[in-house]
Amino acid sequence: MAEIVIKGVAKSFGAFTALHSVDLTIADQEFMVLLGASGCGKTTLLRIIAGLETPTHGEVWIGDRRVDHLPPRERGIAMVFQNYAVFPHLTVFENIAFGLRMAKLPQAEVTRRVTRTAELMHIEQLLKRYSGELSGGQRQRVAVARALAMEPDVILMDEPLSNLDALLRLEMRAELKGVLAESKTTTIYVTHDQVEAMSLADRISVMNGGYIVQADRPTQVYRNPAARFVGSFIGNPPMNFLPAKRSENGRWQVAGQDFEGPETAAAEFAIRPEDMHPAEAGLEAEVRVVEPLGPHTLITAQVAGQPFRAVLESDRAITPGEVITLAPIPDRIRWFDPETQKAIA
């Protein structure tokens, strides 16, 4: 059992505040992804959980133990580093065995665990090599095997796939998901890649400017962003936002169209690019760029002077300069408070 509880954790580096009082609970065996742009504090939070960084305030609990004052080795964690950190002076076998040797496990157990994890990561034929003789992908496998061999309660991963090329990343992503689900560990995975986050996570914590903006299931984060930032960060292309005005009849005016909306004084209209279809009535969009993507066509247009994107079925030919009308799917429309930037329920 390794539930992780983070209570009011904050971190400042001099005058710079990397984390503002973060609260987060990660369930036992959950796969939690910390997602955000660089500098949002996600790596700092991971390093605090690992014990490589000391929080300025707050508590970290793993299982039933408060660990924020403990050194990393007493926390029951293993970690995969962004640059792999596979020791160059040790063979692959000794790299995987490193933590086991430090824990003074008997040789037979070391051999058993190294062999098992090496097989799991398909590197059993590389055990005698040095890391200088391995490719990036192979080093990554060694780094993961080294973490798995510890049979830890918690595995922490710091952008483990970001140094791999696109194809390899896709392959490793699927493999990681399978291996980690099998291992029954709690996983915290840091990435700036939203696709990686969506495909791996049980839950995603979207971070921005040292805050956790939303922590929820991937579909929830995608469908119901808790804040404007989440909508604009997740999704490729991201959510469209249009200013809205309250009209006399209590409805909302968006680019000359009438919509049902919330009972607030001010609101901003938002819709995902794929949640629209061409129709007789709707938002008037002046098409600027047309990008056929095969199954869909990506349209970059202007609506009421605002940049606006739509992903449409590719069966209809659209040309730049054309004006099309797009009808948003009513229950996919989202509203945000322009003041607080938060979603209006």
Where does this chain bind other proteins (CB under 8 A)? 50-52, 71-73, 77-79, 81-83, 85, 87-90, 98-99, 102-103, 129-133, 146, 150
Q: How far is the CB of 303 from other proteins (least distance, A)?
A: 47
Minimum distance, C-beta of residue 83 to other proteins, in the bound complex (Å): 6
Tell me the one-letter amino acid at 175: E
What does the alpha-carbon distance between residue 31 and residue 11 come to, in Å, rounded to a whole number? 24
* Cβ proximity to other proteins, 75 vs 169, nearer residue: 75
- Least separation, in Å, of the C-beta of 125 and other proteins? 16
Report, in Å, the least distance between residue 135 CB and other proteins: 13
Nearer to other proteins, 78 or 161 (CB): 78
Quote the CA–CA distance of 120 and 201 in Å, as a whole number.
21
Residue placing its CB nearer to other proteins in the complex, 61 or 87: 87
Q: Which one, 56 or 232, has the nearer CB to other proteins?
A: 56
Quote the least distance from Cβ 71 to other proteins, whole Å. 7
In the complex, least distance from residue 73 CB atom to other proteins, rounded to whole angstroms: 4
Q: Which amino acid is at 228?
A: R
User: CB-wise, 75 or 203, nearer to other proteins?
Assistant: 75
| 57-62 and 306-313 beta bridge pairing | unpaired
CA 241/CA 273 separation, integer angstroms: 10
What distance in Å separates the CA atoms of residue 181 and residue 32, rounded to the nearest whole number? 12
DSSP H helices, 184-285, are: 194-200, 218-223, 228-233
Choose between 73 and 332: whose C-beta lies nearer to other proteins. 73
134 vs 343, beta carbon nearer other proteins: 134
CA distance 271 to 223: 10
Closest contact distance (angstroms) between CB of 102 and other proteins is 4
Cβ neighbours for 270, distance < 8 A, ≥ 6 positions apart: 225, 228, 231, 239, 240, 241, 242, 333, 334, 335, 336
